[in-house]
Amino acid sequence: MSINEKYELEKALEQITAIAKGYNLDFYDMYFEICPADILYTFGAYGMPTRFSHWSFGKAYHKMKTQYDYNLSRIYEMVINSDPCYAFLLEGNSLIQNKMVMAHVLAHCDFFKNNYYFQRTSRQMVESMSVAAQRIRQYEFAHGREKVESFLDSVISIQEHIDPYRDIGKNEPAIEKSESGGCCGGEGCGKGCGKDSCKDKGCEGGNCGHTHSEQESPYDDLWKLDHLGEGQESKDDTQKAKKFPKKPEKDLLLFIMEYGRDLEDWQRDIISIIREEMFYFWPQMQTKIMNEGWATYWHLRIMRDMDLTEEESLEFAKLHSGVIQSSKVRLNPYFLGLKLFEYIEKRWDEPGEEDRIKYGRPGGEGREKIFEIRELDNDISFLRNCLTEEFVEQEDIYLYKKVGYEWKIVEKDWQKVRDSLVASMVNSGFPYIVVQDGDYGKRGELYLHHAYEGAELDVYYLERTLPHVYKLWGRPVYLETVLDSKKVLFSYSGEKVSKKFV
Amino acid sequence: MSGRYTVSREDWSLHRKGEIDRQRHREKVKEAIKKNLADIVSEESIILSDGKKVIKVPIRSLDEFHFRFNHNKQQHGGQGDGESKVGDVLGSDSKKKAGKGPGQGQGAGEEPGVDYYEAEITIDELAEMIFEDLGLPNLKQKKKPELASESVEFRDVRKVGIQSNIDRKRTIFQALKRRAIEEGKQGLGKITREDLRFKTWEQVYKYESSAVVLAMMDTSGSMGPWEKYIARSFFFWMVRFLRTKYQNVKIVFLSHHVTAKETSEEEFFTKGASGGTRCSSVYELALKVIEERFNPEDYNIYGFHFSDGDNLSSDNEKCVRLVKDLLKVCNLIGYGEIEGPYYYSSTLKSAFKKIEEQNFTTVSIRDKSGVFPALKSFFNPDPLKTATGR
């Protein structure tokens, strides 16, 4: 980078920062680093410059780099949720590209700093990951690369199975110590609850004496949750076995780390490293649409306020339209997020009759509203609350599905579209799997349960993931799920995955 | 106060993490390919290529497995141009259906959003892996060795030499020994000038025996496209193998139906033919070629014959006799029988059961993955060890 270039960049940055602050964007101190393509793509593949070494990152890097080499795709920047905030710019970006990217990055940083879901993320993850990577490196020296690598393979295979809401309802031990556990507060504790207290209400089939049943609402089904699993309880009563874990445990990594019998310390450490890193990345997965939409919304506004020459404006317009290109087969988070933020802003700026009378919106509150949303929402609530009939039609959003050998559009009804999109984001799009029994058959075997909600698991993948779980747990493992509306139990005990209908 | 900024550009030239892990991934790809060589060896895309291409090999074992939803059974969101209707077709999987690889219908790269990993590998890299354990069996020193190459070999150790050629292991060993003798102590003391040992080289001349390979193929009418394809894949790799590993190997191509003739390499691989089958014709021709051009005193001679075994039964007797004659002058005769969809009660292979000579090998190939084991059993450099076919 020539001195002149650097000067130009700094000058632009001063302007951009001033405009951003003028819009009340609130970000950390920024470190912009210009780096060559192979480095930027490395960071992109690892998710963090300092992360540990693993072949799967090499694979991702190879793929991204090859696409770049063949000019198929290009990433312009990478930004890290840290304080101070690191942002990496691609060497060879033109000045106008860098201007857009910097504006984009500032908005990302504002989002990291202010969105609720990021409040618990560590802002020192750059350093933490670096230290963790060193530890893993040491384990490689001590125990051999192959051994560490294959252990990492196994941990990574279930890395998504953490409990991002672990802080809610904390302090309850996983093992029931005495019989006096005050379980079943009516919040869907389901099978995990062995208490009789909620059985005595004498209600059948969910039609119980709640007083609010005069007015039907789409949320009535929530009341049924109170009585979920009551049928099973009577069965459980006869056994009265001690549950382990007491409640189904969502955090597979934690459970295995704590109770895996044959794990060595270095192995537990690796599990804890992967788990911590997953906690760090989770909010980013949860807010992909909002985060990109927010950044896109703001780079657009900031760039409009800059003094651009005609030529620059044209280049910017091209760049921007490249970013927000929509696709028939996937929703572009940049585009969807941008449009939704603009739509909300407009709705609150110029409320329709219903909004004004029914909700008492005076108008002119658009900007305020989107700042509120960026603070409080994640993608699920963002879409569930803000995707309206008008918006779905305006943006022509639909659902498609495989029918025979063809991928066909199957749904355009806005509520179904909304609900399906929201459902696909639950648990960041990963299957919800819990440890049901950590001492299955009194043999210390691991019984996992997939909370089936209409979407089947990929059996080919399942059969190849289960052996990884077995490797970690050291004893036979089971996974219960549903295929073709029938309960299926997969199991693996070291030789072959077997499957039976239960 | 936050909101300050800096722009910098570090020197990243020593940052190698991505490259190192990429390398490791590459290694794993190679391992995976090695494990699947039998299937990859007879891929159409390779055999029918010009031999220079980069080929793509699907590798499922390097998928990053995790619990995930079945993509094919889910609904996905998409965005139209404003005129989409229920029932519009966005894409189709009908072209490339299931059936390839162990994935069986699960993976298909062209589905929206599904990642199906294909490794790219050059034919040369692949050849290197395939040829690793192959060699010409029973290679003997013949009268007329041809000078192949001149090279240096480190085969001597001396007390003086160039510092860079120091033999560390021997030097240390020497130091240990001396200390034990002189001082009676264990462990490493000082290394003296006396202890130093150097590796020293010598000029060597590498002689290689000349060899000739007779590639014999049945091109009769009963050899359908599939059978021909199998035979060709075998010869494709054989020719490549001989050319890469040996400098003095001549290859003679003989094809036959009722009569046999010598062909050019190109004709051998491309021309089809029809008619009945008389295998004895090609053996006669082979004997004639050997007699006229390749004296067994001077050459290591190998013959490989591929057929579907559907020989004129009256001819089988003669074949056995001729093969026995060939075995007297050849180091090895290999006969590969490609088992087609039809069952023949008396194939050439069953007639060959009478032959008990050690240097006669037969294999039968039932499907594409049989080509690699055939290569392995024919080119087993140490025939005493049993070939490690699958």
Give per-residue pLDDT as tens, B277-309: 888 899 999 999 999 888 888 888 889 999 888
Q: What pLDDT score does A185 carry?
A: 38
Q: How far apart, in whole angstroms, are the C-alpha atoms of residue A428 and residue B207? A: 67
| CB-CB neighbours of A267 under 10 Å | 22
Taking the Cβ of residue A432 and every Cβ of chain B, the question of whether any pair is shorter than 8 Å is answered with no
Domain match, B305 and B213 both: yes
Q: What is the full DSSP assignment across A444-469?
A: TEEEEEE--SS--B-HHHHHHHHHHH
- The shortest C-alpha distance from A213 to chain B (Å) reads 33
Could B94 and A330 be called an inter-chain contact, meaning their C-beta atoms sit closer than 8 Å?
Answer: no
pLDDT (0 to 100) of residue A180: 40
Among B26, B63, B79, B93, the residue to mutate for chain A (most A Cβ within 10 A): B79
Same domain, B121 and B175: no
Please indicate, yes or no, whether residues B159 and B237 belong to a single structural domain of this protein. no
B229 with B347, same domain: the answer is yes
Q: List the structure tokens of A428.
A: 């960041």
**Kind and range of the H or E element at A436?**
strand A433-440
Asked whether residue B186 is domain-assigned, the answer is yes
Does the pLDDT value for residue B229 go beyond 90?
no
Whether B84 maps to a domain, the answer reads no
pLDDT in tens, chain A (502 residues): 578 888 989 999 999 999 999 999 999 999 999 999 889 999 999 999 999 999 999 989 988 888 888 877 788 889 999 999 999 999 888 999 999 999 999 999 999 999 999 998 999 999 999 999 999 999 999 999 999 999 999 999 999 999 998 876 555 555 544 444 333 333 333 333 333 333 344 344 444 444 444 567 777 777 777 776 555 544 444 455 678 898 899 999 999 999 999 999 999 999 999 999 999 999 999 999 999 999 999 999 999 999 899 999 999 999 999 999 988 888 999 999 999 999 999 999 999 888 888 888 898 999 999 999 999 999 999 999 999 999 999 999 999 998 888 889 999 999 999 999 999 999 999 999 999 999 999 999 999 999 999 999 999 999 999 999 999 999 999 999 999 999 999 999 999 999 999 8
Report yes or no: A395 at the B interface, CB cutoff 8 Å.
yes
Cα dihedral A5, A9, A15, A19, rounded to 10, equals: 150
Could you say which of A400, A459, A460 has the minimum Cβ distance to residue B75? A400
Say if the Cβ atoms of B77 and A421 lie within 8 Å: yes
Contact A328 B7 (CB under 8 A): no
Q: Identify whether B253 is part of a domain.
A: yes
Full domain range(s) for residue B216: 209-378
Confidence of residue B35 (pLDDT cuts 50, 70, 90): confident
Last residue of a domain, one of B192, B207, B222: B207
Pairing state between β B146-158 and A433-440: unpaired
Q: Is A18 on the interface with B (CB under 8 A)?
A: no
Compute the half-sphere exposure of residue A74: CA atoms within 13 Å on the CB side of its CA.
Answer: 16
Nearest CB to A433; choose among B3, B67, B84: B67
Total number of domains in chain B: 3
What pLDDT sits at residue A430? Answer: 96
Give the per-residue pLDDT at A239.
52
Burial status of residue A461 (CB atoms within 10 A of its CB: 0-12, 13-18, 19 or more): buried
CB-based contact A412 B86, cutoff 8 Å: yes
A451-499 tens-digit pLDDT: 999 999 999 999 999 999 999 999 999 999 999 999 999 999 999 999 9
* The pLDDT of residue B81 is above 90: no
One domain, residues B151 and B286: no
Note the pLDDT of residue A458: 93
B378 confidence band (pLDDT: 50, 70, 90): confident
Partner-chain residue, chosen from B65, B83, B87, that has the shortest CB–CB distance to A461: B65
Based on C-alpha coordinates, what's the Rg of chain A?
A: 26
Mind telling me how many Å the CA of B70 is from chain A's nearest CA?
4
Give which of B259, B262, B250, B254 is closest to B216, Cα–Cα.
Answer: B254
In one letter, which amino acid is A418? R
* Pair B170, B193 in one domain: yes
For residues B337 and B241, state if they share a domain.
yes
For chain A, the structural domain boundaries read 3-115+287-322, 324-427
Q: Give the pLDDT confidence score for residue A211 in this predicted structure.
A: 46
Q: Which element (helix H / strand E) includes A151? A: helix A145-157
Give the residue from A206, A252, A253 showing the smallest Cα distance to A229.
A206
Number of H helices, E strands in chain A: 19, 10
Q: Let me know whether B49 and B171 are in one domain.
A: no
- Smallest Cβ–Cβ distance between A329 and the set B78, B92, B106 belongs to B78
Give yes or no for residue B161 having a pLDDT over 80. Answer: yes
CA distance B365 to B357: 22
Instruction: For chain B, give the percent of residues with pLDDT over 70.
Output: 83
Q: CB–CB of B300/B329 below 8 Å?
A: no
Based on the domain organization, do B351 and B226 belong to the same domain? yes
Is the interface score ipTM higher than 0.95? no
Q: How confident is the model at residue B149 (pLDDT cuts 50, 70, 90)?
A: low
Give CA–CA dist B384/A233, Å, rounded: 69
pLDDT, position A168: 67
Mean per-residue pLDDT for B237-253?
83
Could B78 and A421 be called an inter-chain contact, meaning their C-beta atoms sit closer than 8 Å?
A: no
B218 and B189 in a single domain? The answer is no
The alpha carbon of residue B149 is apart from the nearest alpha carbon of chain A, in Å, by: 40
Give chain A positions within 8 Å (CB) of B85: 409, 412
Do A29 and B4 lie within an 8 Å CB cutoff? yes
Angstrom distance (rounded) from CA B192 to CA A368: 83
Confidence of residue B147 (pLDDT cuts 50, 70, 90): low
Q: Position of tokens 């990951």? A: A129
Per-residue DSSP letter, A178 = S
User: Are residues B315 and B173 both part of a single domain?
Assistant: no
From CA B91, how far away is CA A400, in angstroms rounded? 10
Q: What is the DSSP letter of A61?
A: H
Question: Domain boundary residue among B132, B160, B185?
Answer: B132
Q: Over A317-332, what HEC string results? A: HHHHHHHCCCCCCCCC
A120-149 residues touching B, CB cutoff 8 A = none
Flag whether B346 is in a domain.
yes
The whole-number average pLDDT for the span B333-345 is 76
In angstroms, the separation between the Cα of residue B33 and the nearest Cα of chain A is 16
pLDDT of residue A209: 42
Cβ distance B18 to A159 less than 8 Å, yes or no, reads no
> Please, what is the average pLDDT of chain B?
79
Domain assignment present for B142: no
- Between CA B9 and CA B11 the distance in angstroms is 7
HEC string of chain B equals CCCCEEEECCCCCCCCHHHHHHHHHHHHHHHHHHHCHHHHHCCHHHHCCCCCCEEEEECCCCCCCCCCECHHHCCEEEECCCCCCCCCEEEECCCCCCCCCCCCCCCCCCCCCCCCCEEEEEHHHHHHHHHCCCCCCCCCCCCCCEEEEEEEEEEEEECCCCHHHECHHHHHHHHHHHHHHHCCCCCCCCCCHHHCCEEEEEEEEEEECCEEEEEEEECCCCCCHHHHHHHHHHHHHHHHHHHHHCCCEEEEEEEECCCEEEECHHHHHHCCCCCCCCCHHHHHHHHHHHHHHCCCCCCEEEEEEEECCCCCHHHHHHHHHHHHHHHHHCCEEEEEEECCCCCCCCCHHHHHCCCCCCCEEEEEECCHHHHHHHHHHHCCCCCCCCCCCC
Let me know: does B275 contact B312? Beta carbons within 8 Å.
Answer: no
Interface contact A46-B66, CB threshold 8 A: no
Q: Report d(CA B16, CA A377) in Å as an integer.
A: 39
Show the tokens assigned to B335: 């006969």
> Token pair for residue A416?
């179904």
Angle of helix A95-114 relative to helix A366-376, nearest 10 degrees, comes to 70
**Distance (Å, rounded) from C-alpha B84 to C-alpha A489?**
41
**Are the beta carbons of B21 and A61 closer than 8 angstroms?**
yes
* Cα of A448 to nearest chain B Cα, Å: 12
CA distance to partner chain B, nearest, from residue A474 (Å): 18
pLDDT at position A248: 92
On whether both B167 and B230 belong to a single domain, the answer is: no
Does residue A351 have a cis bond before it (omega within 30 degrees)?
A: no
Q: What DSSP character marks residue A97?
A: H
CB–CB of B86 and A411 under 8 A?
yes
